[in-house]
């Protein structure tokens, strides 16, 4: 006659909801990783998560930037914050330079944590119909490759000038750093503009610069642009990191795109592999982009909390990121 299983044999082992850890030692390591004093949170998009519309994943809270930044510090416990205009692209922001300087000055007087000023280079706004330069997307289908390359070279100079102007004006306001976000969204020409801007800011102002990429690979819309003898088109995160270090970058934010046809574990494993390739060789802190559609997080405006927390923990424990 078979004996019935004891109550103890049915007792389930406690399992972490973040990483699946099943032993006290694993859980302790997980907690230590997520609360480590050297693990730093940086943010892009200023307080858009609070005061933007629900179409932009915000909650439409009736708060201005000053109140929002202080909430991120005192209520949400962020380690640092970025101040930026809601439009977030450098081209329109430069027309509001005096206003942006005023906001930075006010917040420097009322906050304690490091406050960076940030924007997207967004080279696309310099092309027609929004800008004055011919649009390479119109020229390339016509086979006008030399013309498409030339207009990108001209536009990147204008973008470079605006990026330098908006970065330099924050020095006298006491900004703690500059954040260039969604870099290379329009390809290698935009990446070159940011690298040259970083070189200027690092050498001329001494401000630390954070570069957050837009995609895992730099698209070669131009195809022949180089920085320090390295062609920019087709660079992967660990290669992007090396050029950012040469330019004088202080924090690098690599991106690994989510494949919507694959599962969360598959995407997370792939993302951590790319990030580990960066942290293994990095000489500067690496803050992986972990959000909608990147870093192992599903492509959804409000991703499930368990997916985001698992991705965050994996980036720290396995990817060995310095921050997110």
Pick from 7-16, 169-178, 229-238: least confident: 7-16
Give me the mean pLDDT over the 252-262 stretch: 97
pLDDT of residue 40: 83
The pLDDT value given to residue 10: 35
Is 50 exceeded by the pLDDT of residue 19?
no
Say yes or no to pLDDT of 167 above 80: yes
Question: In whole angstroms, how far apart are CA 316 and each of 123, 137, 249, 309?
Answer: 32, 39, 21, 11
pLDDT tens figures, 101-129: 999 999 999 999 999 999 999 999 999 99
CA-CA-CA-CA torsion sign (202, 206, 207, 210): positive
The pLDDT assigned to 1 comes to: 46
Residue 45 has pLDDT above 70, yes or no: yes
Q: What residues are paired with 211 via a beta bridge?
A: 180, 252
Residue 7 has pLDDT above 60, yes or no: no
Mean pLDDT of 149-155: 98
> pTM of the entire structure?
0.87
- Is the pLDDT assigned to residue 290 strictly greater than 60? yes
pLDDT at residue 76 is higher than 90 = no
- The CATH number of the structural domain formed by 33-253 is 3.20.20
- pLDDT above 60 for 2: no
Q: What is the mean pLDDT of residues 151-171?
A: 97
Beta bridge mates, 261: none
Banded pLDDT at 37 (limits 50, 70, 90): low
């Amino acid at each position: 006659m078979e004996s019935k299983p004891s109550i103890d044999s049915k007792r389930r082992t406690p399992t972490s909801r973040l990483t699946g850890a099943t032993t006290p030692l694993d859980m302790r390591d997980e907690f230590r990783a997520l609360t480590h004093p050297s693990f730093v949170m940086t943010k892009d998009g200023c307080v858009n998560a609070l005061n933007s519309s629900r179409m932009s994943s915000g909650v439409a809270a009736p708060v201005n930037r000053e109140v929002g930044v202080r909430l991120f510090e005192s209520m949400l416990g962020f380690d640092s914050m970025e101040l930026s205009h809601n439009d977030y692209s450098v081209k329109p922001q430069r027309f509001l330079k005096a206003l942006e300087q005023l906001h930075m000055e006010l917040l420097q007087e009322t906050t304690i944590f490091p406050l960076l000023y940030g924007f997207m280079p967004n080279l696309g706004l310099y092309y027609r119909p929004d800008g004055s330069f011919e649009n390479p997307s119109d020229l390339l289908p016509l086979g006008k490759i030399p013309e498409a390359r030339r207009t990108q070279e001209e536009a990147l100079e204008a973008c470079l000038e605006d990026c330098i102007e908006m970065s330099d004006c924050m020095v006298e306001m006491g900004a703690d750093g500059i954040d260039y976000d969604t870099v290379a969204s329009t390809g290698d020409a935009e990446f070159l503009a940011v690298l040259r801007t970083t070189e200027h800011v690092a050498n001329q102002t001494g401000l630390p610069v954070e570069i957050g990429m837009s995609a895992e690979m730099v698209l070669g819309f131009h195809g022949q642009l180089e920085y320090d003898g390295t062609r920019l088109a087709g660079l992967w995160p660990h290669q992007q990191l090396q050029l950012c270090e040469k330019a004088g970058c202080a924090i690098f934010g690599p991106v690994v795109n989510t494949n919507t046809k694959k599962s969360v574990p598959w995407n997370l494993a792939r993302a951590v592999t790319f990030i580990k390739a960066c942290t293994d060789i990095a000489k500067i802190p690496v803050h992986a982009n972990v959000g909608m559609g990147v870093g192992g997080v599903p492509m959804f405006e409000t991703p499930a909390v368990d997916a985001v927390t698992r991705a965050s923990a994996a980036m720290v424990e396995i990817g060995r990121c310095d921050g997110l």
